[in-house]
Amino acid sequence: MWVRTQTRFGFRQMHLLEHKIPPPIVATLVGAAMWMAAQVSPALQIEGNLRFAIAGGFALLGFVFAALGFAAFRRAKATVNPVKPEEASSLVMSGVYRYTRNPMYVGLAALLLGWAVYLAAPWVLLGPVLFVLFITRFQIIPEERVLSSKFGKEYSEYKQRVRRWL
């Protein structure tokens, strides 16, 4: 299914963005935009140690989720290339994948949330939200289409048991 948006100059096919930008690059670009936004917006007054502890907690959580997801893929000898989901040779449903279908993306979102806390500016909280929306639309939904067509009922049952994010 292709999503089209009406522009002033006619229709533009949004599917062209699907699987084009690797999620770590998207997260890096969002993180850079968050930093720039923090430079021009007022800071929240959060006590330094508390801010660092919360930011560090989210960052640690992000690293753990991403590492566990990556390790599960490696154990299953599955491809971790997010721009080529059609190369998937097997479904990974064990380990952290029992709790979320996308632990590496959850990890990146948690890292961005930690970054937002560290930056302590209200507008930067849009960064993790925009990341989740972009990744869901242009990475996860297209991946799910491919996996559904490739693994059929097994993937459908997995989707019913395990949430997309958390």
- Number of domains observed in the structure of the chain: 1
Half-sphere exposure of 98 (CA within 13 A, CB side): 2
Question: What is the CB neighbour count within 10 angstroms for residue 110?
Answer: 22
* Structural domain includes residue 13: no
Q: What is the pLDDT of residues 94-105, one digit of tens each?
A: 999 999 999 999
User: Cα-flanking dihedrals φ and ψ of residue 93, to 5°?
Assistant: -130, 10
Least confident of 25-29, 45-49, 65-69, 92-96: 45-49
Residue 5 lies in a domain: no
Decide if 142 is inside a domain: yes
pLDDT tier, 25 (very low <50, low <70, confident <90, very high otherwise):
very high
Answer yes or no: is 47 within a domain.
Answer: no
pLDDT tier at 2 (50, 70, 90 boundaries)? very low
User: How many whole angstroms separate alpha carbon 13 and alpha carbon 5?
Assistant: 7
pLDDT confidence of residue 83: 80
User: What's the pTM value of the predicted model, to 2 decimals?
Assistant: 0.88
Structural element, H or E, at residue 135: helix 126-135
Pairing of strands 4-7, 10-13: antiparallel
CA distance 43 to 45: 6
How do residues 50-89 score in pLDDT, each as one tens digit?
Answer: 999 999 999 999 999 999 999 999 999 888 888 888 888 8
Residue 9 has pLDDT above 80, yes or no: no
List 12's β-bridge partners, or say none.
Answer: 5
Among residues 146, 136, 144, which one has the least CA distance to residue 160? 144
> Domain for residue 8, yes or no?
no
Whether residue 57 lies inside any domain: the answer is: yes
25 lies in which domain range? Answer: 21-41+53-81+88-161
Q: Identify whether 6 is part of a domain.
A: no
